[in-house]
Chains A and B, each alone.
Chain A
Amino acid sequence: MKSTTGLKAKGMNLLVALRQISAFTKRDMYGWSTYKTAAITQLVSVLIGVLAWGISATYLDRQVPEYNTNYISFLIVGLVIGNIVMPIAQGVERRLNPWTLETILMTGVSVPVFVLGNISWNYIFSIIIFIPQLLIGVYWFGAELNLNIYSTILAFAISAIILLGLAMVSTGMRIVTKSTDPVTWAVNTLSQLLAGMTFPIQFLDRIFPGASSFAWFLPQTWVYHLCREALLMGLSPAAPQMQLDLLKGLAFAVILFPLGYYVFRWGLKRSKKDGTLGFF
């Protein structure tokens, strides 16, 4: 009897949490839609970005043996993932402001709800534009997708956990530093160079010998790598290479998610101790 009541309470809490996340999503979506010019220019610049990269890739057309594909497919997939990666990792950080942070914290929302809520619209928006981006890549530039749906789902799920962890680290640090968060800045900047968005990371060794080994320690590298394996190589989750890489990605997720939670809590506590929660 007791366990049934406990389960019911947990179910209710989950329902409330989902409603809270959806409230954040609606708030951000309404806000976004009221800035019509900004919304249109954002959409246009995303599409122009894909076109620009697509043209460059067509011009540089070459094979990418690491993923059994050509460069156009490699680059378009990288760009599309990149457009999903960055908004998640910076989602909460960008929404932080002293005018709302205190009042939202006073509602007693939990840390995961706060983080997921602030990310959700960015994520949904990224997914919405992900599809036309892919379609442009495939039908206009002839990118070849060889996707395995199960691996894609797993790769996206693991990537989402990794990125949520990063988002929490970033937010926790930002609450304390108020401006640029040095940790996320370092990770993101290094990722631009090393995570392999526009080239396979093995290529790094030709310029900086041994750099690719370092690149594998960056979480974003795994996000790109797993998604590319799933979208370009068509590896099933049962394939030994995919299994191993999913496990490695999962290891990042398992470390980064609780670490992010801890850093967020630490940032909040530190800011409350210094009395700077409402500062910016």
Chain B
Amino acid sequence: METINLVKRYPTSIKKAIQGRPGSHTTSFKGIFEVILRRGSFITALDGVTLQIKKGEIFGLLGPNGAGKTTFIKILCTLILHDEGEAYVNGFDVRKEPSQVLRNLQAVIGGSIGFEWRLTARQGLEFYASLYGLPKYEARKKIDYLLDFTGLKDRADDMYQRYSSGMRRKLVLCRTLLQDVPIVLFDEPTVGLDPPTSAEIRELLRDKLSRDEGKTVLISTHNMWEAQEICDRIAILYRGKIVACDSPDNIRRLIRPETVYNITLQSPKFNKEHEKMLKDLQEMAGVKNLTPRVTPEGVFQRLTLYLDKNYSLSSVLKVLFSYGLEIKSVDAREPDLEEAFIALTREEQKE
């Protein structure tokens, strides 16, 4: 999947545009006239998004509410037409070849349930299987397989309205997988689900869809932990722009390339020797920074070290031991994705 300079603008409401909300150009009668003709005022949902998603990877699209994640997914699904740029799914242009695109990609989109409340799960899936053009026998086999795959087999003949939120999400996943497509998109896959169900859905995505079936999976989420847990690569989308795109580890290190260690000591009295040791440590190449914690009673309690991510902790520990310090515990604290996300979006906000 690939997008090049993808731009999507939505017309604002006439009232808001005339009131001169940010992004509108309505200061004159001409402006108002343009707004009425829906030419003048727009909200930019995607602003030049260029992304390349590799075959077989789990790619996460991270962003706060209103960042443009759903718009991006719906463009790939041919449900929204973009204004500028290009988007391709397995080499097919989403604007010019929508039917080929839909043979290569299916999606689970938040608000789009697509099941009749009073039909059973199986009846709902049979309906979609016919729309996808699956022959009857094949459809029946596939539906059985998918219901088993998602653990819904025992409730297959219950009405959709009897399903819990988690079961509904799984059923939508079944519908998505009816057609054997190589790419599956998920808009907020676990939003509103309880922790065990969320874990199950993540397991389905990572272990079954990606690893076992080799499908390319694109998820949009604002759950940092989820993205860090299952994605091979992520892109951070903020106000319609990609502010970072890399593996979760690399993105975490974008804001702070060092690893932080908290070394708790066996509470010795802080002395001149320790001052010398701190100087020695500061001179070491991999040590970026250090902060000792000494209590008002003069007890040397803890040492916080900022080390280069590839620098070995053992060389630091050797120095500590050589000064006769005894260590109670060592905690490594790596920057998490949430910190990186906040830092990157804040930076973008300033710009």
Question: Which residue in B79, B116, B127 is a CB contact (below 8 Å) of A272?
Answer: B79
B131→A275 contact, CB < 8 A: no
* Interface of chain A, main secondary structure: helix
Question: Which residue in A20, A22, A107, A272 is a CB contact (below 8 Å) of B102?
Answer: A107
The residue of chain A having its C-beta at the shortest distance from the C-beta of B45 within the complex is A275
The residue of chain A having its C-beta at the shortest distance from the C-beta of B133 within the complex is A16
Chain A residues in 8 Å Cβ range of B112 = 98-103, 278
Nearest CB of A to B245, in Å: 24
Chain A residues in 8 Å Cβ range of B78 = 105-106, 272
Interface bits A71-107 vs B (CB < 8 Å: 1, else 0): 0000000000000000000000000001111111111
A107→B79 contact, CB < 8 A: no
B118→A104 contact, CB < 8 A: no
Question: Which residue in A26, A31, A99 is a CB contact (below 8 Å) of B111?
Answer: A99
A22→B71 contact, CB < 8 A: no
B114→A108 contact, CB < 8 A: no
B118→A31 contact, CB < 8 A: yes
Nearest CB of A to B160, in Å: 11
The residue of chain A having its C-beta at the shortest distance from the C-beta of B119 within the complex is A30
Chain B residues in 8 Å Cβ range of A275 = 8, 10, 45, 71, 74, 80
Q: Does A35 contact B (CB under 8 A)?
A: yes
In the docked arrangement, what's the CA distance between A277 and B75, Å? 12
In the docked arrangement, what's the CA distance between A16 and B179, Å? 15
Question: Which residue in A100, A101, A269 is a CB contact (below 8 Å) of B81?
Answer: A269
Chain A residues in 8 Å Cβ range of B106 = 106
B123→A107 contact, CB < 8 A: no
How many of chain A's residues have a CB under 8 angstroms from any CB in B? 31
Q: Does A4 contact B (CB under 8 A)?
A: no
Chain A residues in 8 Å Cβ range of B107 = 106
Chain A residues in 8 Å Cβ range of B71 = 275
In the docked arrangement, what's the CA distance between A108 and B11, Å? 27
Q: Does B126 contact A (CB under 8 A)?
A: yes
Chain A residues in 8 Å Cβ range of B118 = 30-31, 34-35
Question: Which residue in B79, B81, B98, B126 is a CB contact (below 8 Å) of A23?
Answer: B126
In the docked arrangement, what's the CA distance between A102 and B111, Å? 9
A23 and B102 contact, Cβ closer than 8 Å, known pairs A99-B111, A99-B112, A103-B113: no
How many of chain B's residues have a CB under 8 angstroms from any CB in A? 37
In the docked arrangement, what's the CA distance between A98 and B79, Å? 12
Q: Does A19 contact B (CB under 8 A)?
A: yes
A99→B114 contact, CB < 8 A: yes
Q: Which of A22, A31, A275 has the most CB of B within 10 A?
A: A275
B131→A20 contact, CB < 8 A: yes
A108→B102 contact, CB < 8 A: yes
Interface bits B84-112 vs A (CB < 8 Å: 1, else 0): 00000000000000110011001101011
Q: Does A248 contact B (CB under 8 A)?
A: no
Chain B residues in 8 Å Cβ range of A19 = 130, 133
Q: Does A127 contact B (CB under 8 A)?
A: no
A27 and B113 contact, Cβ closer than 8 Å, known pairs A108-B99, A277-B80: no
A106→B79 contact, CB < 8 A: yes
The residue of chain B having its C-beta at the shortest distance from the C-beta of A109 within the complex is B131
Interface bits A17-43 vs B (CB < 8 Å: 1, else 0): 001101110110011001100000000
A30→B123 contact, CB < 8 A: yes
The residue of chain B having its C-beta at the shortest distance from the C-beta of A273 within the complex is B81
In the docked arrangement, what's the CA distance between A278 and B45, Å? 16
| Residues 118-140 of B at the A interface (beta carbon under 8 Å) | 118-119, 123, 126-128, 130-133
Nearest CB of B to A194, in Å: 33
Chain B residues in 8 Å Cβ range of A269 = 81
Chain A residues in 8 Å Cβ range of B127 = 23-24, 26-27
A278→B130 contact, CB < 8 A: no
Question: Which residue in B10, B114, B123 is a CB contact (below 8 Å) of A104?
Answer: B114
Nearest CB of A to B300, in Å: 61
Q: Does B61 contact A (CB under 8 A)?
A: no
Nearest CB of B to A61, in Å: 45
A99→B128 contact, CB < 8 A: no
A278 and B131 contact, Cβ closer than 8 Å, known pairs A30-B123, A99-B111, A102-B114: no
The residue of chain A having its C-beta at the shortest distance from the C-beta of B109 within the complex is A102
Interface bits A249-280 vs B (CB < 8 Å: 1, else 0): 00000000000000000000100111101100
**Leading 7 A-B pairs by shortest Cβ distance:** A103-B114, A23-B130, A107-B131, A34-B118, A102-B112, A108-B102, A16-B133
Contacts beyond the supplied A23-B130, A100-B113, A103-B175: 5 A-B pairs with Cβ under 8 Å: A27-B116, A31-B116, A99-B114, A100-B114, A108-B99
Q: Would you give 18 A-B contacts (Cβ < 8 Å), ordered by A?
A: A20-B131, A22-B130, A23-B130, A23-B131, A31-B118, A98-B111, A98-B112, A100-B114, A100-B115, A102-B114, A104-B131, A107-B128, A108-B98, A272-B81, A274-B10, A275-B71, A275-B74, A277-B74
